[in-house]
Structure 1
Amino acid sequence: MLNCEIHGARDLRIGDIHVPSLGPTQVRVAVKAVGICGSDLHYYRHGRVGDFVIREPLTPGHEASGQVMEVGDAVTSVKPGDRIAINPARTCGQCKYCRMGASNHCVNVHFFGSASRFPHMQGAMREQVVVEDYQCLPVPDSVSFEIAAFGEPLAVALHAVQQAGNLLGKSVLVTGGGPIGALIIMAARLAGASQVTIVDIVDQTLQACAKVGASHTINAATDPDAIAALSVGKGSIDVCFEASGSYAGLANCIRVTRAYGTIVQVGTLGGNSDGCPFNQIMVKSLSLVGSFRFIDEYAWAIDYLSRGALDVSPLLTATLPIERADEAFQLAGDRTQSMKVVVTL
């Protein structure tokens, strides 16, 4: 079967691999759509994500949907022909984190498309995958495979909003207007935020965020005074979400969040932290909370998409077949042209 592999920085290849066998509780899925995520882009561009370095060919992709081909003897939740979204996390259910309801920190997790372990955890950008039955969530015919693939990033956004606590009637600011930042805007609106400001440095990204619920947009590169105005009087924003993965974004969050406000760190921080006013976390009694992946929110995300409670279609920029995966990754990396690019099979 066709398989997309990243062998190192800017070294993406399409090849053939064997078809995996099927266990009694497992499901064979014909993959139909896989979204390209920021971590996939890091592997493609740099051959690594932070400390996770590619040491063998890595199949990327953890935002996936498909159609059931075959089920194991013990599977009753889905049947051949069902259209599904695929939860990329296979957790053990036995470790201390699973037992305490924090399966996003499962120490034995198998998560699609990650080089955090060796051998690597291979992803979904291939013609077929075999997963556990509980990883399969049916979607109605009204939801396209491309939209169903938004389940994973939407779950990340929903979990971030959960980490923030009650947002009803509160002011929100998001730094980083990529797909996760845009979905946080939608999730924050759903949770009752009174207004949501998005900060980015790319006008096209800000325009896309305005289409999905941002009430105010700020280009930090061309309008720094707008951020300064929000920081007056120990800050004016109740809750900030840092989704850019940059210390500059975190610095802006620290400056504009009011005393006793909350900052949720969603992006993977990189670069130089010089100039980030960490001491203001103490001075303003801020709550700084991390947000990693998701727990039950994947099921919520698929439910919202299935019922049409959230319309993510404005974020879908392009779909390209797996044979053009290299082109798809290049497009996904150009923030002036794309928000979410999906590879189809």
Structure 2
Amino acid sequence: MDVKALVVAGPGEMRVETRPLAEPRPYEAVVRVVYGGICGSDLHYWREGRVGESVLRAPMVLGHEVVGVVAEPAADGSGPPAGARVAVHPSRVCGRCAHCLREEQNLCDDLRYLGSAARSPHTDGGFAERLVVPANRLVPIPDGLDLRTAALAEPASVALHGLGRVLQAGRRVEGADVLVVGAGPIGLLSAALARAEGAATVTAADLHDAPLRQALRVGATHIVRADGDAAVPPADVAIESSGSAAGLATALQALRRGGILVAVGHLPPDGVTAPLHLAVTRELTLAGSSRFHHEMPTALSMMSRYAGRFAPVITSVHGLDAAPAAFRQAADARRSSKVLLSLTPDR
């Protein structure tokens, strides 16, 4: 069977190709992909041919935020049945390294991720009409949650993992004043999830007005222009999702004594300066957060309960043949949040 897929071959070289679908092994299912969310890493591969140290060396199918319907269940009987609506967990781990044995699979020594050039051969992604994937990577979507909103499952899991780092440090989101720096998709999802977890207040800070209006729709109680004159209110918990040195400084400066900062956004590899002296004088806790592992079922459950808060994160849907326009829109943070590709009909 041949399927259409969105392939990147180098900086600015993106095209729709027809490729043969791999023959599934007994433990693998075939998913008819309905929606795929465009992530910042997809944009980097498209524009620059790399994401940090992950350099594109061969054509690769993009995409790791995908949901769909099981077209062919695994022959060994594992996983969801035919017709089940599922989100695809994009990582594959070894299960043997020290991190996996400590339930830190997101840090696996041999982690593979859909649509990633981190290893050779590259791991093709899910922006295709059909996807062959291990059945144990499929997470059922709760009844009542539409597939369009469920397409946020992967980035919502990333945001939920970031909030989980607060709990790992012995702090609480419930009852806390939370600051989210950067109101892109991860920031908006962090704000929505923080409110769902009982934060007393959630402040979103960004450089643009449109994302801040979106933040109010997903549950933020306060918004502030990070480049304006208004002061950022004090916070107990800061989620830094902008991936910028300025955003890191804003988060540090806003934290109260004993506060915690979780860095979710990818900072540049060099040239970052920030007022880290505050970590000493205020006894702050700084934590990084990388991807996720077990959070997707919980993220989907929370999205199902608070669907009205999550749906506004999606700003548009484009067909596969309109992928260039979709990517251009996704790259403009002033007018878009999460942009989806429609790979097959939602029915």
Fold shared by both chains (TM-score > 0.5): yes
Name the structure 1 match of 2:63: 61
Q: 1:10 aligns with which of 6, 9, 12?
A: 12
Q: Which residue of structure 1 lines up, in the alignment, with residue 34 of structure 2?
A: 32
What is the count of residue pairs matched by the alignment?
337
Distance in 1 between residues matched to 2:162 and 2:27, nearest whole Å:
31
Per-residue CA distance 1:211-230 (angstroms, 9 max, x = gap): 1111111111233x413xx4
Query: Is 1:212 matched up with 2:214?
Result: no
Cα RMSD, aligned residues only: 1.6
Q: Structure 1, residues 66-114: CA drift from partner, whole Å, max 9, x if none?
A: 1111123212431122221111112222221111010111122221111
Rate the CA distance shift 1:112–1:240 in 2: closer, same or farther, 3 A.
same
* More displaced stretch, 302-311 vs 273-282: 302-311
Alignment-derived partner of residue 167 in structure 1: 173
Structure-2 separation of matches of 1:167 and 1:142? 27
Query: Where do residues 301-340 of structure 1 align in structure 2 (5 Å cutoff)?
Result: 301-308=299-306, 311-340=309-338
Find the aligned partners of 2:270 and 2:97 in 1 and give their Cα distance.
35
- 1:135 and 1:306, CA in 2 relative to 1: closer, same or farther beyond 3 A? farther
The 3 A distance-change label for structure 1 pair 273 and 290 is same
Give the match for residue 145 of structure 2: 143
Amino acid in the other structure paired with 1:314: P
Distance 1:148 1:274 in 2: 35
Distance of aligned partners of 1:3 and 1:189 in 2 relative to their CA distance in 1, 3 Å threshold: same
Q: Which amino acid aligns with 2:325?
A: E
Please say if 1:226 is aligned against 2:224: no
Match of 1:112 in 2: 114
Would the aligned equivalents of 2:149 and 2:307 in 1 still touch at CA under 8 Å?
no
Q: In the alignment, which of 195, 202, 210 is matched to residue 196 of structure 1?
A: 202
Superposed displacement of residue 305, structure 1: 2.9
Q: Distance in 2 between matches of 1:324 and 1:25?
A: 34
User: 1:92, 1:109 within 8 Å by CA — same for their partners in 2?
Assistant: yes
Cα distance in 2 between the residues matched to 1:4 and 1:310: 30
| Deviation (angstroms), 1:32 | 0.8
CA contact (8 A) 1:75 1:133 kept: no
Give the structure 2 partner of residue 250 of structure 1. 248
The aligned residue for residue 102 of structure 2 is: 100
Rounded Cα–Cα distance in structure 2 between residues aligned with 1:130 and 1:83 = 15
Question: Structure 2: where are the runs of 5+ without partners?
Answer: none
- In structure 2, the partner of 1:233 is none
Residue 125 of structure 1 and its aligned partner are, at CA, apart by 0.4
What does residue 83 of structure 2 align with?
81
Counterpart residue type for residue 186 of structure 1:
A
Cα deviation code 1:101-153 (max 9, x no counterpart): 10111122221111111111111001111111111122255333221211001
Alignment-derived partner of residue 268 in structure 1: 266
Moved more, 265-274 or 28-37: 265-274
1:178 to 138, 163, 184: 184
Q: 1:341 aligns with which of 334, 339, 344?
A: 339
Q: 1:187 aligns with which of 189, 193, 203?
A: 193
C-alpha separation in 1, matches of 2:213 and 2:303: 22
Contact 1:182 1:209 in 2 (8 A): yes
The one-letter amino acid of 1:14's match is V
TM-score (norm 1): 0.93
1:221-279 CA-partner distances (Å, limit 9, x unpaired): 233x413xx4xxxxx31111100000100011111111211000000002764552122
TM-score w.r.t. length of structure 2: 0.93
Identity of aligned residues (%): 37
The residue type equivalent to 1:278 in the other structure is L
Alpha-carbon distance change, 37 to 21 in structure 1, aligned in 2, over 3 angstroms: same
- Partners of 1:78 and 1:133 within 8 A in 2: yes
1:23 is paired with a residue whose SS is: coil
| Kept after mapping to 2: 8 A contact 1:89/1:111 | yes
CA–CA separation in structure 2 for the residues paired with 1:337 and 1:252: 23
Secondary structure of 1:312 counterpart? helix
- Runs (5+) with no aligned partner, structure 1: 231-235
Pair 271,90 (structure 1): closer, same or farther in 2 beyond 3 Å = closer
